[in-house]
Structure 1
Amino acid sequence: MPVTSRIAIIGTGNVGATAAYALMLRGIVSEIVLIDRSAEHAAAEATDIADANAIARPGRIWAGDYSDVRDAAILVITAGATPKDGEPRTSVAGRSAVIVRDCVGQAMHAGFNGVVVVASNPADAMTQVAQAESGLPAERVIGTGTLLDSNRFRKRIADRLGIAPGAVAAQVLGEHGDSEVMAYSTVRIGGMDLDAYLAGQEFDRAAVAHDVMRAGYTIGHGKGFTSYGVATAIVRICEAIHRDERVVLPVSTLLTGQYGINGIYLSLPCLIGATGIQRILTPELTPAETDALLASADVLRRTLQQTEEDADV
């Protein structure tokens, strides 16, 4: 695998450009290369970020082409189709798959041999498409999955309880989408489960779950797109890989029998290090949460099947 401190980002739209800017601010790597079907747009974004970097940390940021991917340790894919206001992410699966296959195919042809992080919509299905196209081991093709959703879950729980989000541990599992599972059984505050912490205090679980699931739609309706949250999730995954942190994050990965689910990408807590996903964890869920996770897997299975059928048309 490459040993250079380079991250390549394919797709310089709102998410890709924001991720590049956040990576620059964090100073995680010394090289960031931006690639886009519009070389002019990639060059403009790279120049803008590089100008900002002049007063930040030393580093090289430039617009490149697929030949620059070969020496990257991490490849981030944000290119894909964008859902219209109110549309589910799965509505663009067919169009996104064409784009993702092309991007991954060109990257592999250029000699890329690192870890892939996929944020294209719909993230779970596109990560599975990317893995199949790349031929890389599944542990080296990671979707942003429900990392952002889990952060939203923690924050909204914290807001209602009047505590800091960092004091809350909580996981959203399954699809990054409408079938995602708010795993309340995983919520811990100071080692206490939620019911114990509440001590009889009212807490509307359904309202919080709805708010988390609809957050992307609400943001998209208000400003036309989402960017900061998912870009931050991308950066967090890249940081875990680059620094070999061996931290546990809820990301999308290929399941191989966990909870009886096989051959589908969805989010579970995963141990992440330099080589990608090193272990998939299986928290003890309630029967209702397990059923919801199985239902989410079915949604993703249908999405992937529809994507494959669209490709055959």
Structure 2
Amino acid sequence: MAEGVESGGAPARAVVVGAGHVGMISAMRLADADVFDEVVLVDVEPGLAAGIALDLTHTGALTGSGTRVRGAVSLEEAGPADYVIITAGKARRPGMSRSDLTATNARIVGDVAGRAAAVSPDVVLVVVTNPLDEMTYQAWRSSGLPAEQVLGMAGLLDAGRFRALAAADGAGAARELGAVALGSHGEEMVIPLSQAPEIAARLDAARLDELVDRTRTSGAEVLGLLKSGSAFFGPGTAAAHMVLAMVADSGTVVSATVRPNGEYGIGDVFVGLPVVLGRRGVRRIVELDLTPEELELLREAAKRIGERIAGLPA
């Protein structure tokens, strides 16, 4: 393997593309975990990634992390990596839907994914850019990487939002509540309550429906409150947690946007499903015992995502 890439021991380098708020949080979480030799922030804006990297470097003495943090203006300058988190793209503004960003961000994500794979042929890509489901497909198509090495982070974030909202409503401590989020990162998000028994037992049906709806629109809720920017703590943390789960190779099941091969009766699309992550990406897709209604909602979400993917620019 090329210098700087994992060779049997601890992963050597993680790269975060896009030094905006989401990228900054992702880089911080990765650096604080102290499992990489180096974390590199990449941004085309001169000085931006280097400035944030220097600021993060200054925190190492306080956090105890020995991870080097560096800024670069290109993937080529960043060097070979085990994992690349893609946050680059135009952010939503109030009144915009995720789909409003499709054409612009497809060009950006396609270019980043292709260059990442050229620099690091064995890399695992974690896509954060919206619209998430379509951009994960675009990253896979443009990179030429095996599907198991290209993931979207949305399910972990959406499940975390649902657990946090349920905890605030009295269902228990968020860290102790189980839930998964499947389908799309948007209107077709599915939270199967059959897989969240503690929450379903502690909150009434009407309130559960309200919390699912609020989870589905949580990004827009944050956007409306901020007025000049979208959510970043949640997305940045979720992306880093996915990478750290792969590094740990612990067999933990998380929700991620992946390409199934017949699981749940779905194929040829990127959709949110429960997966076991390993060092090199998706180890396997987990087939949960969903109710017929939940399975139908998941399949409908996959169908709708497939229709949007068909409209992506070539």
TM-score, normalised by the number of residues in structure 1: 0.91
Greater share of strand: 1
Deviations 1:248-298 (A, max 9, x none): 100010011122211110111100011211110121212221221122112
Q: 1:43 to 1:24 in 2, by over 3 A?
A: same
Q: Is the 8 A contact 1:147 1:249 kept in 2?
A: yes
Deviations 1:81-123 (A, max 9, x none): 2222132212211111100111112222324422111111111
2:70: which partner in 1?
62
2:119: which partner in 1?
110
Matched, 1:182 2:191: yes
RMSD: 1.8
Match among 39, 47, 58 for residue 40 of structure 1: 47
In terms of mean alpha carbon deviation, does 59-68 or 237-246 score higher?
Answer: 59-68
Q: Is the 8 A contact 1:69 1:75 kept in 2?
A: no
Give, as a single letter, the amino acid of the residue that structure 1 aligns with 2:278.
Answer: G
Q: Give the Cα separation in 1 of the matches to 2:205 and 2:245.
A: 37
Q: Is the 8 A contact 2:159 2:180 kept in 1?
A: yes
Runs of 4+ residues deviating >3 angstroms: 200-203
**Shift, 1:226, TM fit:** 0.7
Q: How does 1:215-226 map to 2 (within 5 A)?
A: 215-223=218-226, 224-226=229-231
Q: Give the Cα separation in 2 of the matches to 1:111 and 1:172.
A: 30
Identity of aligned residues (%): 29
**Shift, 1:39, TM fit:** 2.8
Matched, 1:211 2:218: no
Segments of structure 1 that go 5 or more residues without pairing to the other structure are: none
1:168: which partner in 2?
177
Deviations 1:50-73 (A, max 9, x none): 122243212211112322454311
Deviations 1:220-273 (A, max 9, x none): 111221100011111111111112222110001001112221111011110001
**Shift, 1:202, TM fit:** 6.3
Secondary structure (helix, strand or coil) at the match of 1:39 reads: coil
Secondary structure (helix, strand or coil) at the match of 1:158 reads: helix
**Shift, 1:9, TM fit:** 0.8
Q: Give the Cα separation in 2 of the matches to 1:161 and 1:17.
A: 32
Q: Is the 8 A contact 2:126 2:239 kept in 1?
A: yes
Q: Is the 8 A contact 2:35 2:67 kept in 1?
A: no
2:239: which partner in 1?
234
2:166: which partner in 1?
157
1:257: which partner in 2?
262
Q: Is the 8 A contact 1:219 1:226 kept in 2?
A: yes
Matched, 1:14 2:25: no
Q: How does 1:133-152 map to 2 (within 5 A)?
A: 133-152=142-161
Give, as a single letter, the amino acid of the residue that structure 2 aligns with 1:183.
Answer: P
Q: Give the Cα separation in 2 of the matches to 1:111 and 1:272.
A: 19
Q: 1:110 to 1:237 in 2, by over 3 A?
A: same
Q: Give the Cα separation in 2 of the matches to 1:11 and 1:284.
A: 38
Q: Give the Cα separation in 2 of the matches to 1:149 and 1:227.
A: 13
Secondary structure (helix, strand or coil) at the match of 2:84 reads: strand
Q: Give the Cα separation in 1 of the matches to 2:93 and 2:224.
A: 9
